[in-house]
Amino acid sequence: QGIWRLSKLAVSVKNDPGKDFLHIHIGLLQEIAKVLEFPVASLLPEEAFSVVRKSFDARKILKEAKFVYTVDMDVSKLLSLEPRTWDFISRLDPKVGLIEHMPRERISRDLTSIIRDFKDSNGALSREQGRNIDSGESHKCSTVRKPRIAIVGSGPSGLFASLVLAEFGADVTLIERGQAVERRGRDIGALVVRKILESESNFCFGEGGAGTWSDGKLVTRIGRNTDCVLTVMNTLVHFGAPKSILVDGKPHLGTDRLVPLLRNFRQHLQSLGVDIRFGMRVDDLLIQNGHVVGVEVSDSTNKLKSDCKKLGFDAVILAVGHSARDIYQMLLSHNVDLIPKDFAVGLRVEHPQELINNIQYSALANEVCSGRGKVPVADYKVVQYVSDKDKNSPLKSESTNRSCYSFCMCPGGQVVLTSTSPSEICINGMSFSRRASRFANAALVVTVSTKDFDALNFHGPLAGVEFQREFEQRAAIMGGGNFVVPVQTVSDFMDNKVSVTSMPSSSYRLGVKAASLHELFPIYMTDALHYSIAMFDKELPGFISKEALLHGVETRTSSPIQIPRDSDTYESMSLRGLYPVGEGAGYAGGIVSAAVDGMYSGFSVAQKLGLFHGDI
């Protein structure tokens, strides 16, 4: 009885349906039969099996690229087999690495159903009670007033915090300086086509946060199988993401899927009574006796800023992302602790996708077919440790060891402008679900720390922000303005010369200009990039190419600061009633980890404000 997990089931490309992630097909049944030592694969009942994970493995050490599955087998569903074939079950032997007995079922519930079940069995403040409180009948069930909570920012962290708190019956106002996805889409269109940058509605600001017009990769380093990540993934499915994200080894949504998902998310929050204010910016915190009691807001579409309003709240969750530099400044003015944090900066490299497919897949590259084929559009991940101890290292005069690594790789994607000010250039990558563009881009970044900020005379809590801004401004000047991005072919970067001859085309739509990117950064960074790119070319022969274009600059890989908070309550260590969450606060680095952080902060605040008791 029970669930048995079968892993490392390898199916050849020929025998696999490719992008169908959940289907128990005959090729897979054959592999399952082999592991189970069951004689006739076609007799195995499909309904006894479910795919837990499917990845594509094209590592060079393999003779042949394969799809690799992990499958759960529900033994009770094998009962349809003839009794004499039952023998094989009694012979099942949990062989190391292939068969494992699962003590419990995988979590397959979304956040809403988890909270509703919890409330049903634990007597949390019910919605009925909430309504009675609102209608002045509080004496009948509780003397507690419905807590009023402001959530600032509608990125993944703000949305998940809102969902938890609204499900627990709090009075939630979600304040977003940018616009809802419909209008934000038009603003981004105007930026890409007509070079009009709306400072409050762009690739960073607006519904869904920085992750909306993104690649929508849902890979995370915080543990793919942890309950919190599975809950976030199931919640995304609940709001319209395809179920394949639950099993895909490298789940990916793409902007075209994120936009409708966010619309569903919004409608659900509104049905719970969340007051969502788009185009409203938090400019300041209202503080009384060392406790946040509300926020000062203004209409972000009104450039005159004369219309500020004060709104009172019991708690403020700050989920503003790491591009809200004005918020960091405002926090400093209230003496909120901010600690500079190490991060990484560099360039974004773009190759023809075909080149990357060829490097990674060789003969199989034809199977990619612009995202429509069987095998996924090829990606890569490279990392190089640059140590002063290594005799070939360029860091001879330095005592700092660094890493140079690829980051946020977007196969079949495009390079986009993520600046929020016209005097700065910073870029990132996005894609659509099919990843059908003919370009593959990725950040190539080098780690930097406070020592590097000091060397450029940037000190204090916002030194990292100043460091970012310095290179964003240098890039804008190198590009010559009007959002034109400075570029150099990888070959020319390696030869320290400007790309004067014909340059490959770029997916970046606002214009590129040949420039000396090898002179953009301090020498230690250029050297680290130079050295690492040479090593990457050994791993991925062809990486150094005249067809590959480096774009400057990629600066906002993660937050340059952290806002210290209590690890249990999520409350700021220096200002009561303020809950800093997500990437901007330095506690997340990506869509999923930001969502998880927002979710946990929601639970903490709900518990602190008495919306539920016990452990969820």
Residues that bind ligand FAD (CB under 6 A): 152-158, 175-178, 203-206, 209-211, 214-217, 281-282, 319-321, 324, 327, 408, 416, 418, 428, 430, 582-584, 588-592, 594
Is 484 in contact with 195 (CB distance < 8 Å)? Answer: no
Q: Least distance to ligand FAD from the beta carbon of 132, Å?
A: 32
CB atoms within 10 A of CB 23: 11
State the minimum distance, in angstroms, from the CB of residue 200 to ligand FAD: 7
Structure tokens belonging to residue 201: 């509605």
CB of 255 or CB of 489, closer to ligand FAD: 255
Q: Of the two residues 21 and 160, which places its CB atom closer to ligand FAD in the complex?
A: 160
CB of 28 to ligand FAD, least distance (A): 29
Contact 31, 127 (CB under 8 A): no
- 213 or 453: CB nearest ligand FAD: 213
The CA dihedral of 172, 174, 175, 177, to the nearest 10 degrees, is 180
**Strands 578-580 vs 171-176: parallel, antiparallel or unpaired:** unpaired
For the CB of residue 65, give the shortest distance to ligand FAD in the complex, in Å.
24
**Smallest distance, ligand FAD to C-beta of residue 188, A:** 10
Tell me the C-alpha to C-alpha distance, in Å, between residue 611 and each of 28, 74, 130, 134: 47, 38, 10, 15
Q: Which two tokens stand for residue 75?
A: 């033994």
Write the burial class of residue 38 (CB in 10 Å: 0-12 exposed, 13-18 middle, 19+ buried). Answer: buried
Quick one: 3 or 228, whose CB is closer to ligand FAD?
A: 228
- Assign 146 to helix, strand or coil: coil
48 vs 594, which CB is nearer to ligand FAD? 594
Amino acid letter, residue 269 = L
The smaller minimum CB distance to ligand FAD, of residues 376 and 589, is found at 589
> Nearest distance from residue 583's CB to ligand FAD, in Å?
4
Using the minimum distance from each CB to ligand FAD, give the nearer residue, 427 or 528: 427
The CB-of-612 to ligand FAD minimum distance in angstroms stands at 23
Sequence-distant (6+) residues with CB within 8 A of 533 are 444, 490, 493, 494, 543, 544
Q: How far is the CB of 170 from ligand FAD (least distance, A)?
A: 19
Let me know if 445 is exposed, middle or buried by CB neighbors in 10 A (0-12, 13-18, 19+): buried
Q: How far is the CB of 122 from ligand FAD (least distance, A)?
A: 28
Integer Cα distance of 410 and 380 in angstroms: 9
281 or 469: CB nearest ligand FAD: 281
d(CA 353, CA 524): 30
Asked if the bond preceding 553 is cis, omega within 30° of 0, the reply is yes
| Residue type, position 288, single letter | Q
Neighbour order of strands in the sheet with 66-74 = 49-57, 66-74, 3-12, 99-102
| CB-CB contact of 475 with 510 (8 Å) | no
Residue nearer to ligand FAD on the CB measure, 284 or 537? 284
**Identity of residue 530:** H
In the block, tokens 């419909």 appear at 182
Give me the least distance between CB of 291 and ligand FAD, in Å please.
20
Considering Cα of 165, then 167, then 168, then 174, what sign does the dihedral take? Answer: positive
> Count of H helices and E strands in the chain?
16, 23
Beta strands in 323-401 (DSSP E): 339-340, 343-352, 383-386
If the CB atoms of residues 155 and 464 are measured against ligand FAD, the closer one turns out to be: 155
Q: Pick the closer one to ligand FAD by CB: 133 or 410.
A: 410
Q: Cβ 238 to ligand FAD, closest distance in Å?
A: 19
